[in-house]
Chains A and B, each alone.
Chain A
Amino acid sequence: MGLRDRIGRLKEGLTRTREGLMGKIARLVIPGGAIDEALLARVEEILIAGDVGADVSAAIVAAIRERAQKERASDAGVLPTLVRDEIRRQFVPGDEGGESDPFHLPPGRPFVILVVGINGVGKTTTVGKLSAAYVQAGKKVMVAAADTFRAAANEQLEIWARRAGAEIVRQGPGADPAAVAYDAVSAAQARGTDVVIIDTAGRLHTKVNLMEELKKISRVVQKSLPGAPHEVFLVIDASTGQNAMQQARQFGAAVGVTGLILTKVDGTAKGGIVLSISREMNIPVRFIGVGEGIDDLQPFDGKAFVEALIAS
């Protein structure tokens, strides 16, 4: 898939975003005008409005100010370029939109993905979409219903698994989630499954016992298959504010998050907090969710993401 296609798809996902970050900044600029403090203050406000956070917004603006001075760029016309560059620099290197296939798997089967996050961010939906994407990429997929807590979570995942064409391993409500995960990984090893995606119950990062439970799931999976889980995706709702940083820290400390999935990007929320998370924790954003359809999950691509925002 070429860059152009990706931009096209991303744009599509962002069509509902009324005013893109960069669109606003482009409109701020009066051609021939100067890059002054008032303009920079507006840029900072726009970043804050996108949930980028006060500290990171101030840092980005400081970097822009410094660069404008160093390059003697007094004309406001170059501002969008500077802003775009500085935003991109916040993302983890290598997240810039390579042409690599996000569904390419390293050797060794099964490839185990653990999906974690707080309540209501869209974990189960994301697991459904993710399994559909792997099935479409020609992989044999199994989902593990390790959310044994929330009422009807099993049923919800089962519907998604059926839609996606994936197998499902489940137990009754109240079962030990680690046991469900263990069963799934064992079954996958026996059946030659390519990918195991473990859906976990939503848990607030402040709940010590629930975080311990999550650690146990991870430990047990590793016992079943050394090296697993190969990926731990933290799902973050784009409308979340600064608390997402705490979520990333706590889940990161508990189970070592390897990637972020930003959901509900089809609303007006910008999800700017992922910039702070990328910057502080060096975790790449891997996918974005842009709707409730089974195909509404896209590989994240820092470059295309920013470009699509500029174009809106």
Chain B
Amino acid sequence: MFDELSRKLEGALKRLRGQGKISEANIGETLREVRRVLLDADVNYKVAKKFIDDVQAKALGQDVLTSITPGQLIVKLIHDELVALLGTSAAPVTFGATPPSVILVAGLQGSGKTTLSAKLALYFKKRGHHPLLVAADTYRPAAVEQLRTLAGQIDVPLYEEAGENAVALARGGVIHARQNARDLVIVDTAGRLHVDEEMMKEVEAIKKAISPNEILFVVDAMTGQDAVNTARAFHERLNFDGAVLTKMDGDARGGAALSLRATVGKPIKFLSAGEKLDALEVFHPDRLASRILGMGDIVTLVEKAQEQLDGEKAVKLEAKLRKSQFTLEDFLDQLQEVRKMGPLSQVMGMIPGMNRLPAGATVDEGALTRIEAIIRSMTFEERRKPQLLNGSRRKRIAVGSGTTVQDVNRLMKQYEQMQKMVRTLGKGGGMRNAMRGMKFPAGN
């Protein structure tokens, strides 16, 4: 699925290549594709629209770095904006001054509250706390049994009281914790629809009865457009402190998190991924942003390109290109610049579209090493004037580089093709185009 999205975006980005500044005209299509990507990730359409407008406002008029395409720059902008919107750092859970602290867990049916309650208990138990679980779901058949089983698995006590209503149960749980020296109470509540007035009143009453230090709203990562409605409704009633995104071990892209942040502004505190009770992680905005965009790791690539590509050398090269003097020495330089960014297979994987090389085809790092060796076995004069390379020189170079004459011939042929291309591009385009035209050897 990610590949498909990358391809879509790639198509739009293609049309952006070779343009120096970002303008309304040249990013329109890219942004439309980005909107589609966001919608496919279940970001609410209103949130997506506002988000795109903001990005456009920021992007307009920006200079495009020589090392990357405008499209990549936009993607980076979008990614940065997403991270900013998702919250920049992990927000901790609030503990009260006097124990026990109380965490109230609420959400829709099936969002994963009971499992999360047990996970939270284990998480804090491992960090030296003494949690008590309270089974305040008095509706779903066997909900209490479920929590009892989970509590047993992690060896955390459970407070339950048959026949009590949820409010009394929650209150009883807190009192029980105080009497039994538990410093943390985690109250699991029944799943409820945000439009169910009676049930929403109940959870409000629970809140009032136990004054929790932390209210966590549980959201299924697969939630669609309706996430804004449920988040708003729960927020109005409970003013929750943070959200937990569950079922992150699926392949949903979790756009609901963005809708939630944009609608109620509360942080995402944990990601829950899996049925194993230790599968709870602290939220990382950047990872989720990449997941929502489904973009592989283009951002890392762009950052690496910015770091690694030597600006001055690029300027010199560009000048040479204009004069159509692209020598084997320049070729070697370019090769080294690219290789600084990491193993080629990894670099290729970061480029949208490149991650789907034909099945079985792998990037042959060895070929690059051979090319380097061949060029290094030439004299400086040969590198500048390849026309000097006659049969005996080629034989010498092959022996010196540990390759064959055929390898040398192949490289020279590639170099000639490249020069031809550079000649045409050198007239109009710039460095970016020339670089893009380079063909890296791919083995099978």
Contact = CB atoms under 8 A, between A and B. Distances in A.
B225 interface: yes
B140 A156 contact: yes
A267 B145 contact: no
Given A18-B195, A150-B146, A239 B45 contact: no
A244 B251 CA distance: 10
Nearest to A246: B251
Interface in A129-183: 149-156, 158-160, 173
Interface in B1-56: 1, 35-36, 39-42, 44-45
Nearest to B229: A268
B255 interface: yes
B122 interface: no
A151 B146 contact: yes
A239 B141 contact: no
Main DSSP-derived SS at the A contact region: loop
Contacts of B110: 119-122, 237, 264
Contacts of A206: 249-251
B42 A242 contact: yes
Contacts of B177: none
A204 B45 contact: no
B223 A155 contact: no
A11 interface: no
Nearest to A269: B226
Contacts of A45: 45
A156 B249 CA distance: 25
B128 to A, nearest CB: 26
A205 B252 CA distance: 11
Interface in B208-235: 220, 222-227, 229-230
A241 interface: yes
A120 B109 contact: yes
A267 B39 contact: no
A287 to B, nearest CB: 17
A241 B1 CA distance: 15
A243 interface: yes
B264 interface: no
Interface string A80-122: 0000000000000000000000000000000000000011111
26 contacts: A16-B195, A48-B45, A51-B224, A51-B225, A53-B39, A53-B40, A54-B35, A120-B110, A120-B111, A120-B247, A122-B109, A151-B146, A151-B150, A152-B149, A158-B142, A204-B249, A237-B220, A240-B220, A242-B40, A243-B250, A246-B1, A246-B251, A267-B195, A268-B195, A270-B225, A292-B109
Given A242-B224, A243-B250, 17 more contacts: A48-B39, A49-B45, A118-B250, A119-B112, A149-B275, A151-B150, A156-B141, A156-B142, A205-B251, A237-B220, A237-B222, A242-B39, A243-B251, A243-B253, A266-B193, A267-B108, A268-B229
Interface of A: 16, 18, 45, 48-51, 53-54, 118-122, 149-156, 158-160, 173, 204-207, 237, 239-244, 246, 264, 266-270, 273, 292
